[in-house]
A and B are shown apart, each in its own frame.
Chain A
Amino acid sequence: MLNLLSAEFYKLRKSKAIYIGILVAAALVLLLYGSLAMIDKINQGEVANGTAGVKVSQVGGGMGTDGASQSMMQEIGVIGVLLQMFGGHFVGIIAAVLVSIFVIREFSTGTIKNLVGKGYSRSTIFFAKMIPVIVLMLVFETVVAAVTICMGIPFMGWELFSATVWEDVVVYVGLQLMFGAVIAIIYMLAGELTRNLAAGISVSIGVLLFSTTLTAGLDLVFHGMEVKPSEYWILDLVSSCPVADFPAEFMVRGVLVSIVWFLIATVLGILHFCKADVK
């Protein structure tokens, strides 16, 4: 197992796609901050509305759009940007691509043949792949969080930046890392089941984008009953994760749902990998 892990982490270190993915995520953080800064400038009348493609319109009482006096940066703060990054699909889509590449290329390049039938049980091989996948996701999300926080200083200014409630940031990022680890295994399962790069990425992104719509539909089906399916789906937890005053009920549910989905994805992945032929 240690030998396999050593090889997997070596591959991880040597993978250019991983570094590119992280850089793209960092660039997205920068773009998000840039957009917020532009909104503030538009609201303050410093630049014309629509400059650089940023158009501010007054829709209800949305964040920062209800008056020129309000600063968007001030209103959402660092944690708001983190919410945009993790709660939106930016991080999820890039992570889906990275995990799919890392898992599926073993099948597309045939390198899995260098591991299977070499004295390791298939479940050991699966676990040896799973651990780096989780580490990859955690490193990726940590970098995104770190870049988001660090970029807050130049974009928000020190005064606004230092007003951040860091305890909330730590808990929020911690929860997102926990959810992220489970989602990584779900992406890995999609990769294992499809064993095709295009299909794996498509399925992973499809799950990311549309599964919450499905659970919303199920919520309607179960309307009036005590069960609310979306509360038990890991991707709904990612988007509905609070950023402050974390309710104990959410924390407990979050941990339990994470454990359950982690186990489901792991068991299904191992069963398929142990049973299916390697081509």
Chain B
Amino acid sequence: MDYALNTDGITKIYGKHAVVDHVSMHVKKGDIYGFIGKNGAGKTTFMRIVAGLAAPAAGSMKLFGSGDLEMQRQRIGTLIEQPGLYGTMTARDNLEVVRRSLGIAGKQTVDEMLEFVGLSQAGKKKVKNFSLGMKQRLGIAIALFRSPDFLILDEPINGLDPEGIKEVRDLLSKLNKEKQITILISSHILGELSKIATSYGIIKEGVLIEEFAAEELKSRCRRCVKLVVDDAQRASAILEEKCHITEYDVPKEGVIRVFDGLDNSWIMNRALVEGGIHLKESYLAGQDLEGYFMDLLGGASNA
């Protein structure tokens, strides 16, 4: 499989504490990878390691299948924590500095980039007078300057108003679809993330606890009747035979998730009891994406 980023046991230790603990992440080319975790879970540190801003204590990584990270990092655009901007310079000057440092020919690219992120009217305004949203957009412009193949964005919609959030979301979707840019993005606004992400990684206390595709997430969040029984195999047979249930799965021993006939769950319960099944629990399950993540992360604090 083609990966834009493939890490193996990346670890970062501050003092005696492993902030990032043996993280093996797999970001497929073309993915929008939503990176989720509470504050202090290690998201930013991991992204800084990938971007080359911090060195890992252990582990290895490949970018675009290559171990030559210095070379491959030229294909990456990053916006990690606050955008790096000179407050006393104008937006245009800031981009001009980046254009020169990256060796991009043509001064018009600065204006094109300002136009692209919707800051063409603010090009001559000093950045210290920018709103947070404008700074974020300028930060995204810097990240996009060298037409990267892989974008690493840490909380890019932080501080944006709803309109700004939508603009950034649309921009990222457009970049992903039209330019096939792979995106690794972290955000606290899970609802927004779930609108664009195609795969997810969940980090908790420095450990990447799970990676899954968006389809898998949808399936996990799908409304169902959850039945906890003593014999799932026999119960399944009864459900098929007596209730004509076809859409169900057995995620683990003793648990059946039924996806059809949700309005008639009492029929399933009766059939199982009459069939001699010890029915321990029967309830309607399913939640929104945010709730699912909160459950996974173990609390309703910042995700």
Contacts and interface: CB of A to CB of B under 8 A. Distances in A.
Interface of A: 2-4, 6-7, 10-11, 14-16, 105, 109-119, 121, 275, 277-279
A118 B74 contact: yes
Contacts of B103: 2-3
Contacts of A4: 101
Contacts of B84: 109-114
A245 to B, nearest CB: 46
Give 3 closest A-B pairs by Cβ, nearest first: A117-B52, A119-B74, A7-B101
B76 A117 contact: yes
A114 B146 CA distance: 12
A10 B96 contact: yes
B246 interface: no
B53 A117 contact: yes
Interface in B65-105: 70-71, 73-74, 76, 78, 80-89, 93, 96-98, 100-103
A22 B69 CA distance: 42
Contacts of A112: 84
B73 A113 contact: no
Nearest to B44: A279
A16, A112, A117, most chain B CB atoms within 10 A? A117
Contacts of B101: 3-4, 6-7, 114-115, 118
B51 interface: yes
A130 to B, nearest CB: 15
Nearest to A274: B55
A6 B74 contact: no
A114 B84 CA distance: 7
B89 A14 contact: yes
Given A111-B86, A119-B74, A278-B54, A7 B142 contact: no
Interface string B131-163: 000000000001000100000000000000000
A179 B85 CA distance: 33
A113 B78 contact: yes
B48 interface: yes
A117 B51 contact: yes
Nearest to A13: B93
A97 to B, nearest CB: 15
Given A16-B88, A121-B70, A6 B52 contact: no
Nearest to B55: A277
A10 B97 contact: yes
Interface string B28-42: 000000000000000
A115 B70 CA distance: 12
A109 B86 contact: yes
B85 A118 contact: no
Contact of B71 (A10, A113, A119, A277): A119
A92 to B, nearest CB: 24
Contact of A278 (B53, B82, B93, B146): B53
B59 to A, nearest CB: 15
Contacts of A11: 86, 97
A11, A114, A277, most chain B CB atoms within 10 A? A114
A105 B102 contact: no
A109 B87 contact: yes
Contacts of B71: 119
Contact of A277 (B53, B83, B85): B53
B54 A109 contact: no
A194 B83 CA distance: 21
B85 A7 contact: no
Contacts of A278: 48, 53-54
Nearest to A110: B84
